[in-house]
Chain A
Amino acid sequence: MIDLDETDRALVRALAEDATASAGALGRALGLSQPACWRRIKRLREAGVFRGAQVELDVQALGFGVTVFLGVKLAAKGRAGVEDFERAVQAIPEVQTVEHVLGAYDYRLRVVARDISDFERVLRRRVMTLPGVGNLDANVLLSEERRPGPLG
């Protein structure tokens, strides 16, 4: 685990907002020289503080009107085929994220669709046909906000 000082935390926050920000621009904002800022960013990246970057798009403008979170419980007899399920579910293009969880469900999926009838198609043809699927629980996303997290 990496120890962060005030400046590092400010850098992580800034890069979380804009991963493309240059060391020069970030350094100016934080009162660091470009090389000093670059060294800090390099140290953060090498410590694995970022697991990647994400292009943020207006999903509605791109024609995806519906986002649904699906809780998936595997059927008791499906447990042997966990790997088949995991492989197949990740291959569905409309499934944006797959998390393995512990609790009332085994997996949590984020699914995008053009509209509700398109979602029904994805659900029936793609998700319900996955190997080992038992119970499903669907919740339609209304709003979403990301918080900066404990970087105080």
Chain B
Amino acid sequence: MLDDTDRRILRHYQADPEVPLSELAERAGVTGSTLTRRLERLREAGVLRGVRGVIHWPALGYEVEVSLRVTLDKTQPRAFDEFIAAAREVPEVLEIQTFLGQVDVRLSVIARDMPHYQRIYRERLLTLPHIADIEGLMHVARLKAEETLPL
């Protein structure tokens, strides 16, 4: 079980994932060895999975980002599995999420520019299996992105 110290450590770690561990210990008010021991335990328990780098795709020439909301034809029993397996084959798909609600699956898709997006959309996305309805939201700006948990 997690105690308040664990939560405090994770709160500070989330707020600044690239902070040196000595500095993190100071902010969380624990010694360096306590911090190392606690992080190790959280890793072993699977609570702390790692620290991933978040790619800024525009710096790599991908200026367009679209959130595609897909409704599947659920009369097909394997609609979810087959749609997701096929979506994984499209390199420009960054995220695949499934939902309970009006939307069944959401794909986050990037492209170099609008003509490139149009090509991916027509050739790779509209051809995915079992689509009943599809709707795009064009990404304009990211106002809050840290995805931190309120610990």
Contacts and interface: CB of A to CB of B under 8 A. Distances in A.
B1 to A, nearest CB: 10
Interface stretch (A27-35, A87-95, A127-135): A87-95
Contacts of A112: 149-150
B138 A139 contact: no
B54 A50 contact: yes
Given A50-B56, A105-B137, A142 B148 contact: no
B142 A97 contact: yes
Contact of A54 (B52, B61, B67, B97): B52
A147 B101 contact: no
B136 interface: yes
Contact of A142 (B53, B98, B141, B142): B98
From B17, B135, B136, B150, name the one whose CB has the most chain A CB atoms within 10 angstroms. B150
Contacts of B92: 149-150
Nearest to B101: A139
Contacts, number: 196
Interface in B1-56: 2, 10, 13-14, 17-18, 45-56
B124 to A, nearest CB: 12
Contact of A57 (B48, B67, B106): B48
A100 B138 CA distance: 9
Nearest to B57: A149
A30 to B, nearest CB: 16
Contacts of A48: 56, 59
Contact of B149 (A15, A53, A57): A57
Given A19-B18, A112-B149, A139-B103, A55 B140 contact: no
Nearest to A20: B51
B148 A147 contact: no
A103 B100 contact: no
Contact of B62 (A12, A19, A141, A150): A150
B142 A99 contact: yes
List 10 tightest A-B contacts by C-beta distance, closest first. Answer: A139-B101, A93-B150, A51-B56, A103-B137, A19-B53, A139-B99, A56-B49, A53-B17, A101-B137, A98-B144
Given A90-B143, A104-B135, 12 more contacts: A15-B53, A17-B50, A50-B53, A51-B54, A52-B145, A55-B14, A69-B99, A96-B147, A98-B142, A102-B137, A138-B101, A147-B88
Interface of A: 1-2, 4, 12, 15-20, 47-59, 61-62, 64, 69, 71, 86, 89-90, 93-105, 108, 110, 112, 137-147, 149-150, 152
